[in-house]
Amino acid sequence: MAVLEITDVKKTYRSPTGERQTIIDIPKFAMEEKAHVALEGRSGSGKTTFLNLIAGILKADTGQLLVEGTDIQSLSEPSRDLFRAKTIGYVHQTFNLLQGYTALENVELGMMFGRGLDKEYAVDLLGRVGLGDRIHYYPGQLSVGQQQRVAVARAMANHPKLVLADEPTGNLDPHHTHEALSLIRGICREQGTALLLVSHDDEVLQEFENRQSLAAINLAGQEASTA
């Protein structure tokens, strides 16, 4: 069964000169349950826009986007937010941790908007990512690599069916890059969660058997590359 099915999805923006610019134009894309897929894309190719459409953070201009059989684009904004919290985990490049909250509280807050608070599971997740002794540390007291681990734990907090990872190793050195990828993929495998990662880093992409170019599925990217 497909965890993600995209059909004729388009997203355009208005440029500073007032012209309409198509960023995403994807006729077809699908992912099976538990699959791990890496999409390669250069900076400015629409990678983040693509993930934000899947997550329901942005709304497409046209097309259908099914996550676990639900057309997320047809939902109201509050319903999209609730669906995303329960079904989709998101690891951002900048981690998006709340600085005034501890590692544990950051994970718990993610649960509050999803399946409900489960402190025992939040503590267990932080332990599994190697932060069992730092659950009461604030983001500013953690290294970049450790903040990344908190972000991974938060993304997995609601037992998502799909995890989106937007350049998740962009702020890490090579050693921590491999470590972070192993962590993300390991937890996804344990939970039977599908993973869609986007990156421009060849070393990251080489870690995936199933890797594709965003430009190959995005007609807007093909037009830009031939312009």
3-state secondary structure at position 73:
helix
Longest dimension (CA), the chain: 54
| 43-58 residue pLDDT tens | 778 999 999 999 999 9
Band of the pLDDT at 226, cuts 50, 70, 90?
A: very low
**pLDDT attached to residue 223:** 54
**pLDDT attached to residue 179:** 85
Which domain covers residue 184, as residue numbers? Answer: 2-226
The DSSP bridge partners found for residue 6 are 29, 65
What's this model's pTM, rounded to 2 decimal places? 0.91
Number of domains in the chain: 1
* CA 123/CA 111 separation, integer angstroms: 12
Band of the pLDDT at 189, cuts 50, 70, 90?
A: very high
Do 102 and 63 meet the contact criterion of CB atoms below 8 Å apart? Answer: no
Do 160 and 87 meet the contact criterion of CB atoms below 8 Å apart? Answer: yes
- Calculate the average pLDDT of the chain: 91
| Residue 101, both tokens | 């909250």
| 129-186 residue pLDDT tens | 999 999 999 999 999 889 989 999 999 999 999 999 999 888 778 877 888 889 899 9
| Residue 78, both tokens | 């509050």
Residue 177: which CATH number?
3.40.50.300
* CA 144/CA 124 separation, integer angstroms: 21
* Closest C-alpha to 165, from 130, 191, 196, 143: 196
Q: How far apart are the first and last CA of the chain?
A: 38
13, pLDDT greater than 80:
yes
**Residues with Cβ within 8 Å of residue 89, at least 6 apart in sequence:** 154, 155, 156, 157, 158, 160, 162, 163, 164, 193
Whose tokens are 């538990």? That residue is 34
Whose tokens are 């060849």? That residue is 202
Backbone angles phi, psi at 96, to 5 degrees: 55, 35
